[in-house]
Structure 1
């Protein structure tokens, strides 16, 4: 068997990668969730992400697990686990859609709504602290770049 010899190139430093920096920011901001909010409210980070999407959107439309996966960027299995956890604790209920019996509409229960209303201010405080040192123009620019990235990633599927 003949081996192909690849040219030796030095691997770039991880800190030089914009993608790595983006992942690192997400991980560093998510890390304290379990210690501060998760334990207190018996809530995983993905359950919170799903609950937040549902609490805002479910009042406006029929929201399905596929829509939640698309809006959060979570994979279907993570969304499914989060939905089961929320339902198990009485924070979510489902109802079969009349238009498509294979799909289930997701609805936040009063207990889920109360939890969202209690945790949401904590999430807003965390976001404010994260962006406190960014001037408004840079924050707007970051938002625009992230919007472009979302469109780009969706178009590559």
Structure 2
């Protein structure tokens, strides 16, 4: 039996693999660019560090993704009025249109993947993943996970 961590990585890789064939090539979009777009579509006005935090990608991967999005005029930067060293990121009109197109394809793929999973099991899985995300964030910050957060 494979370790749980390996299973998580495998699920991510297997679900992400078709992205390039179905979406990436057609729209000249990398998976990391899509991840950044998805975050900015849901939370406009984040800075690059916040995009990295929300995607779980390292800062260099986010920087490359944002550079690609900017090159294709899918994202724009505005100065941050609270911090002159930082800028806030927003999808352009072209970025918003692509976000909607790719998002619809993603929702379709999600429906296909979860078609055989009942609603209660999906709810438990979502709660478990939320718990894992919180635990990973705490461990990454140097804090040990709380015992209460280890149960779902």
Q: TM-score, normalised to structure 2's length?
A: 0.89
The count of aligned residue pairs is: 140
Larger Rg: 1
CA distance in 2, matches of 1:63, 1:35: 29
Q: 1:33 aligns with which of 1, 11, 19?
A: 19
User: Does 2:82 align with 1:96?
Assistant: no
Q: 2:10 aligns with which of 24, 38, 49?
A: 24
CA distance in 2, matches of 1:21, 1:63: 31
CA distance in 2, matches of 1:16, 1:40: 35
Partner of 2:122: 139
CA distance in 1, matches of 2:33, 2:120: 32
Deviates more, 1:33-42 or 1:62-71: 62-71
Q: State the shift of 1:117 in Å.
A: 1.3
CA distance in 1, matches of 2:109, 2:103: 10
Q: TM-score, normalised to structure 1's length?
A: 0.87
CA distance in 2, matches of 1:54, 1:144: 23
Counterpart secondary structure, 2:85 = coil
Counterpart secondary structure, 2:24 = helix
Q: State the shift of 1:130 in Å.
A: 1.0
User: Does 2:102 align with 1:116?
Assistant: no
Q: What stretches of structure 2 of length at least 5 have no aligned partner?
A: 141-152
Counterpart secondary structure, 1:104 = strand
Q: State the shift of 1:124 in Å.
A: 0.2
Q: State the shift of 1:16 in Å.
A: 2.4
- Structure 1 vs Structure 2 CA RMSD: 0.8
User: Does 2:32 align with 1:49?
Assistant: no
CA distance in 2, matches of 1:74, 1:129: 26
Counterpart secondary structure, 1:103 = strand
Q: What stretches of structure 1 of length at least 5 have no aligned partner?
A: 1-14
Structure 1 segments (4+ residues) deviating >3 Å: none
Q: State the shift of 1:80 in Å.
A: 0.5
Q: 1:75 aligns with which of 22, 47, 58?
A: 58
Q: State the shift of 1:70 in Å.
A: 0.7
